[in-house]
Amino acid sequence: MDWLIPFILVLDQISKKLAQEYLMGKTIHIIGDFLTLSYVTNTGIAFGIFQGHPFIMGIIATFVVTIIYIYRKIHLKQHKSFLFDLSTVFIIGGALGNIYDRVRIEYVVDMFSVKYFSVFNVADSFVTVGGILLAIYYLKRSNDPWKKTF
Cite the active site residues.
Answer: 110, 124
Q: How many CB atoms lie within 10 A of CB 48?
A: 16
Which residues lie below 8 Å from residue 12, measured CB to CB, with a gap of 6+?
A: 93, 94, 97, 98, 121, 122, 123, 126
CA atoms of 48 and 94, how far apart (whole Å): 15
CA distance 137 to 147: 11
Contacts of 71 (CB under 8 A, 6+ apart): 88
